[in-house]
Amino acid sequence: RGWEGPGAVGRHTAIGRSLGRWVPVAVIRMGDKPLWEQIGSGFVQHYYQVFDADRSQLGSLYIDASCLSWEGQQFQGKTAIVEKIIGLPFRKIQHSITAQDHQPTPDSCILSMVVGQLQADEDPVMGFHQIFLLKNINDAWVCTNDVFRLALHNFG
């Protein structure tokens, strides 16, 4: 079903839409942060909480048209994406977010970029980068595009 956003915000509000009419995106604010930042950061927090607790439950955040690029490998569709994530070669993982940036897109989606560190099982801590494209479908935010890379540098 996707992620319904922070409180009622994600359920009944599309980026750039207010009371049934389109308004400039910069106008939509709740508190100190623009709406797209609240939705993006809420999605990111939810995604990594689910990933770290039980990654088999991430399927609700994708749709059949979603695409994942994982270390250069391409996967399309909710089933293929979840199979890839479940099949990763570790039992436990812990993500720590260092920074995240969110932008509204002209077609009312949200582009989110995450930089962080992860530790899988007892392996050394590694840096990673992940980008999500979020879209509101049927009053829930889903990930239509997901790009993941470990921050490994091979200068040899």
Higher-confidence residue of 69 and 9: namely 69
Assigned domain for 133 exists:
yes
Section 101-129 average pLDDT: 96
pLDDT at 113: 98
Q: Whole-angstrom Cα distance, residue 72 to residue 82?
A: 16
pLDDT tens per residue across span 90-114: 999 999 999 999 999 999 999 999 9
Assigned domain for 102 exists:
yes
Domain count, the chain: 1
pLDDT at 19: 29
pLDDT confidence of 27, banded at 50, 70, 90?
very low
Q: Whole-angstrom Cα distance, residue 81 to residue 75?
A: 6
- The residues facing 18 across adjacent strands are 21
What is the number of residues in the chain? 156
Q: Is residue 4 scored above 90 in pLDDT?
A: no
Assigned domain for 9 exists:
no
Q: Whole-angstrom Cα distance, residue 153 to residue 156?
A: 9
Assigned domain for 91 exists:
yes
Assigned domain for 72 exists:
yes
Higher-confidence residue of 60 and 25: namely 60
Residue in the structure block whose two tokens are 């930089």: 115
Nearest to 151 by CA among 132, 125, 133: 125
pLDDT confidence of 28, banded at 50, 70, 90?
low
pLDDT confidence of 152, banded at 50, 70, 90?
confident
pLDDT confidence of 129, banded at 50, 70, 90?
very high
pLDDT at 153: 74
CATH number of the domain that residue 39 is part of: 3.10.450.50
- The residues facing 103 across adjacent strands are 111
Residue ranges making up the domain that contains 132: 35-150
Q: Whole-angstrom Cα distance, residue 81 to residue 67?
A: 8
* Overall pTM surpassing 0.95 (yes/no): no
Assigned domain for 49 exists:
yes
Assigned domain for 16 exists:
no
Assigned domain for 25 exists:
no
